[in-house]
Amino acid sequence: MKIVIDADEVAVDLKKTIIEHLEKKGIEVVDLEHISKHPGAHYPDVGYNLALKIQSGEFERGILMCGTGQGVAMIANKVEGVYAGACNDVYSAERIRKSNNAQILTLGSRVTGPESAKTIVDAWLESEFQGGGSQEKVEQMRRLENKSFS
C-alpha cells in the first residue's frame, strides 16, 4: 500500500509523527509537502492538491492534517469523486471506510494527540468498504454529487 500525505503549517509535526509511524509498519508514504513547495499556501491549497491526486487515481488513499481536520476535509470533498472524513476516534475512522468508502482520512493536530492519531490511522488503514447496506447509500451520494457537480 502507498499512502499520500500532507498537512498545513499547523500540523507539520503531526504529519512527521504519522509518516514515521507508517514507515515503521512498512507502508510507503509520499509526502506532497505542498506548504514548503508553495510558500504562502494554506490548508485549502494543501487539501485540494492531495484530493486531485486521489481523483486522478495516482493514489488510492490519503491522509490530510490541519488544526482540526475539518478544513482539509471540507476542501477535499469539493473534488468530484473524492470522499474525506475528519476523525477524532477509532470508530469514526473505521466507519468512514467501512460504510462510506472514504479515500481520505483527515486529522486535527489541535484536537488529536500523536498517540491517538496513530491509533486512528491504523484503524482506518485496516478497514475496507463493506458494501452491503451501505452500497446503496454510497451510490446515492455519487448520484447526488454528479447532479451537484454537473
CB 105 within 8 A of CB 47: no
**Res. 62: pLDDT tops 90:** yes
> What pLDDT score does 96 carry?
97
pLDDT(36) > 80:
yes
CATH code at 2-149 = 3.40.1400.10
Residue 25 is predicted with a pLDDT of: 97
> In the chain, what are the domain boundaries?
2-149
**pLDDT tier at 149 (50, 70, 90 boundaries)?**
confident
HEC string of the chain equals CEEEEEECHHHHHHHHHHHHHHHHCCCEEEECCHHHHCCCCCHHHHHHHHHHHHHCCCCCEEEEEECCCHHHHHHHCCCCCCCEEECCCHHHHHHHHHCCCCCEEEEECCCCCHHHHHHHHHHHHCCCCCCCHHHHHHHHHHHHHHHHHC
Confidence at 150, pLDDT banded by 50, 70, 90: confident
Q: With a cut of 80, say whether residue 68 has pLDDT above it.
A: yes
Catalytic residues: 66
Q: What is the pTM of this model?
A: 0.96
The label of the residue with cell 482506518 reads: 124
Per-residue pLDDT band at 76 (split at 50, 70, 90) = very high
Q: What is the mean pLDDT of the chain?
A: 96
